[in-house]
Amino acid sequence: MKIIFGFLATILIVSLAPYSYASDPSPLQDFCVAVSDSAAAVFVNGKFCKNPNMVVADDFFLSGLNKPGNTSNAVGSRVTPVNVNQLPGLNTLGISAVRIDYAPYGLNPPHTHPRATEILVVLEGTLYVGFVTSNPANPAMKNKLFTKYLNPGDVFVFPEGLIHFQFNVGKTNAIAFAGLSSQNPGVITIANAVFGSDPPINPAVLTKAFQVEKNLIKMKIIFGFLATILIVSLAPFSFASDPSPLQDFCVAVSDSAAAVFVNGKFCKNPNMVVADDFFLSGLNKPGNTSNAVGSRVTPVNVNQLPGLNTLGISAVRIDYAPYGLNPPHTHPRATEILVVLEGTLYVGFVTSNPANPAMKNKLFTKYLNPGDVFVFPEGLIHFQFNVGKTNAVAFAGLSSQNPGVITIANAVFGSDPPINPAVLTKAFQVEKNVIDYLQAQFWSNIG
């Protein structure tokens, strides 16, 4: 009910590219919380890093994403961003999120994100969405438009840098959440940039570019600003987990005939690509939580949504029964940004081994309510626990097309063949009968 009438969501996915180029840098530390004070700080990716000893759980936390944005503007939409400027802990972690509110017939106008792919989940309403490819190599061909009508629970992907839009075709408000594969994706709203720049672009340039009379260009410059929807940023080049594609997209396909192998998948012939390759339905349906831990993860990665291939982002929906647990696990290739839709979650992550052997790994924890956002840095062990007597729901975005997941208990005690008990007794400093008991348990897969 809250998913339909309620508010938020974010996004996720998984990937297999161990090294390559992309928008945001690959950090050499667990995190780099952005801070304005340069004293005793390190400058990384356009921000100063906070002293790691001073970092607290609130650096990875933001509240209020359950509140509707004000859509009383010319285009009837409002984007509420959660990037490094609102959530300092995102610095260097290669992911961000937004909530988008649409009035009836409201439009998120044509725009691009120069540094990020976007994966969008609809919570309420019906949206008409689309994106346009970049100039084809063959000058005789036109740019191709991919469009789709989306309903609650539907997912759609907008590849990095391509012009895209969303339009509420209904008589009621609409809400969507999106994850973006950069800590600060940037946004270029086409009409604003072309007709609303300061100083304005010379009308002679625009008359030639748009093949219209000069008086029409002047009118557009004066009145053609449209309302802004922005997330801004400065990190022009760097490293990250997933590769930066050299084409608009590479839709994964199982058939190797007339295909190109990129990032662990064969690419579909671009001329055969359709809007459905970037679309998935059903994320409004609860997952089955009748298992030992009382939770279920419903993934949207490249294996479920082929259009995500090479685009460096994915998403998940997580359902929790009362007192259900998403047990301690890691994503070897992705940072995760989580938004709570229903219920109250106790969440946390643990740092990696400190350089000083006298120090312990540090635990960062927080209680999250609907509309709260929390970040789990790439590769660190983390968990979520439903502390309430009712079901809970969360959505998350992950900074890889296929993040991978290593559930600690499953991997250590449930591998096939099992790890030699002599290894585990020494590692965990317990008797062999304890290890034998743990290895005899049935370790269920909740993903």
Band (pLDDT 50/70/90 cuts) for residue 244 is low
Q: How far from 168 is each of 148, 180, 279, CA to CA, in Å?
A: 12, 21, 17
From 254, 360, 261, 346, select the one nearest 303 (Cα to Cα).
254
pLDDT of residue 283: 97
Predicted local distance difference test score (pLDDT) of residue 413: 87
Helix (H, G, I), strand (E, B) or coil at 434: helix
CA distance 299 to 305: 10
437-442: average pLDDT: 84
Check: CB of residue 289 under 8 Å from CB of residue 369.
no
- The answer to whether the beta carbons of residues 50 and 35 sit under 8 Å apart is yes
**248-301 pLDDT per residue, tens:** 666 666 666 645 666 667 788 888 899 999 999 999 999 999 998 999 999 999
Asked whether 27 and 86 are in contact (CB, 8 A), the reply is no
- Average pLDDT (150-167) is 94
Q: In this model, does residue 352 exceed pLDDT 90?
A: no
Residue 245: the pLDDT is 62
| Percent of the chain at pLDDT exceeding 90 | 45
φ, ψ of residue 118 in degrees (nearest 5): -120, 135
pLDDT higher than threshold 50 for residue 3: no
| pLDDT value for 46 | 62
Q: Tell me, what's the pLDDT at 412?
A: 86
Q: Residue 121: which residues within 8 A CB-CB, separation 6 or more?
A: 9, 10, 11, 153, 154, 155, 176, 177, 178, 283, 315, 395
Residue 427: which H helix or E strand, with range? helix 421-428
| Tokens, residue 381 | 């062990």
User: Residue 309 has which token pair?
Assistant: 């291939």
pLDDT at res. 230: 28
Under the banding of pLDDT at 50, 70 and 90, the label for residue 415 is: confident
Identify the top-confidence range among 92-101, 413-422, 437-446. 92-101
Name the CATH superfamily housing domain 1-187+229-404.
Jelly Rolls (2.60.120.10)
Cα–Cα dist 107/227, whole Å: 10
**Which of 21 and 246 is assigned the larger pLDDT?**
246
Q: Distance between CA 364 and CA 375 in Å, rounded?
A: 11
Q: Tell me the C-alpha distance between 279 and 364, whole Å.
A: 35
Task: Say if residue 40's pLDDT is above 60.
Answer: no
pLDDT at 107 over 70: yes
**pTM higher than 0.85:** no
What are the sequence ranges of the domains in the chain? 1-187+229-404, 416-447
